[in-house]
């Protein structure tokens, strides 16, 4: 049975909000990324949130090859003055079975708008520990406390749950940007990029993680976009962060306002920071105002549908675990988070 729930500002009907006393504690995040400009936006939102503690950032292939992902993550931490505080781990370089794909047309070949920084931190600053074992360790050291935010292909998560099947039971919650609900793709006819980049990993994660799970899908992101006019004051702030974001975002802003991309949008043209929706849901329980609770899986064999997320509203899959598909969010809170992230 599909449950369409509205969430009030004080308590989530799905039982995911925190009691008032616990809200005063730092919210612990592990972030799995493939920056990507919208990953950068999501990371910067987390770093600017006072009650959030980022335990570590794990890097995965995706928008750009994994070495670029690692370099980009270090660049983001540098501009936020957090380079010496948050460990970064190199993760999986390719999908479990399929061919590698990247999103150079959208994010720039280097992942951050082809706006290089000659003083960018080097890869020697990465942790020696690999991303998958680090993810397992950080979650195991903080049982029941970690919110895992996944804005990349899910290869690192799939490897982690294969190595430690109990990892899902130790999580407070899982927040994914990926998948789709209406068979409308942005990479293939029916597939969203993160799931198409590693369908097997997406399948494993959606069938082996049983913690509270929230998914920001492609169609949802398009339907909850912000007007382009928001970007003018957002990027005009007189800070190094804003100047950094303006440089790396310029390529994507030009690309998404082309006729080709406008046809891909589900509900009109606007500023859509896909990964930031998953991050915002992880750091603020009141951000999601409506969601659909439903069992899901991932198609692995279809010629046109490989990587497509499949919803099961009639419960033919007989799955006990249901995820929460985001439907609507508080866009005013999103605006504030984004503005604060560049201050």
Which ranges of the chain does DSSP label H, i.e. alpha helix? 20-23, 37-47, 66-79, 104-107, 131-141, 155-163, 193-197, 199-208, 218-223, 231-235, 240-256, 259-264, 274-283, 331-341
Q: Is 119 one of the catalytic residues?
A: no
For residue 233, the SS3 value is: helix
Catalytic residue among 32, 34, 39, 275: 34
Closest to 73 measured CA to CA, from 94, 88, 63: 88
**Alpha carbon distances (Å) from 236 to 166, 230, 306:** 46, 10, 41
d(CA 280, CA 339): 13
For residue 324, the SS3 value is: strand
d(CA 14, CA 310): 22
Tell me the HSE value of 113 on the side-chain side, using a 13 A CA sphere.
21
The token pair at 185 is: 């793709």
Contact 132, 156 (CB under 8 A): yes
* DSSP tag of 230: G
Tokens 């799905």 locate to 14
For residue 38, the SS3 value is: helix
Number of C-beta neighbours around residue 325 at 10 A:
24
Cross-strand partners of 310: 297
Which residues participate in catalysis according to the annotation? 34
């Amino acid at each position: 049975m599909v449950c369409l729930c509205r969430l009030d500002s004080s308590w989530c009907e799905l039982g995911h909000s925190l009691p008032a006393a616990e809200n005063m504690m730092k919210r612990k995040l592990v972030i799995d990324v493939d920056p990507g400009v919208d990953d950068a936006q999501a990371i910067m939102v987390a770093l600017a949130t006072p009650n959030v503690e980022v335990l570590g950032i794990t890097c995965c292939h995706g928008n750009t090859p994994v070495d670029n992902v690692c370099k980009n993550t270090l660049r983001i931490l540098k501009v936020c003055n957090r380079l010496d505080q948050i460990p970064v781990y190199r993760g999986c370089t390719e999908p479990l079975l399929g061919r590698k794909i990247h999103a150079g047309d959208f994010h720039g070949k280097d992942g951050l708008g082809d706006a290089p920084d000659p003083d960018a931190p080097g890869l020697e600053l990465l942790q020696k520990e690999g991303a998958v074992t680090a993810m397992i360790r950080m979650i195991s050291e903080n049982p029941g406390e970690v919110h895992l935010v996944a804005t990349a292909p899910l290869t690192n998560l799939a490897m982690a749950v294969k190595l430690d099947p109990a990892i899902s039971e130790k999580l407070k919650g899982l927040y994914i940007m990926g998948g789709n609900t209406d068979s409308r793709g942005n990479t293939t006819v029916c597939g969203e990029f993160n799931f198409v980049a590693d369908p097997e990993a997406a399948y494993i994660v959606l069938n082996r993680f049983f913690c509270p799970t929230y998914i920001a899908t492609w169609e949802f992101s398009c339907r909850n976009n912000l007007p382009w006019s928001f970007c003018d004051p957002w990027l005009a702030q007189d800070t190094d962060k804003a100047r950094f974001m303006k440089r790396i975002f310029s390529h994507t802003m030009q690309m998404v306002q082309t006729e080709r991309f406008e046809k891909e949008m589900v509900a009109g043209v606007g500023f859509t920071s896909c990964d930031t929706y998953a991050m915002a849901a992880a750091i603020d329980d009141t951000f999601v105002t409506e969601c659909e609770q439903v069992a899901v899986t991932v198609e692995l064999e279809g010629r046109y549908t490989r990587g497509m997320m499949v919803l099961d509203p009639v419960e033919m899959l007989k799955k006990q675990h249901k995820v929460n598909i985001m439907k609507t969010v508080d866009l005013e809170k999103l605006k504030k988070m984004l503005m604060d992230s560049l201050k």
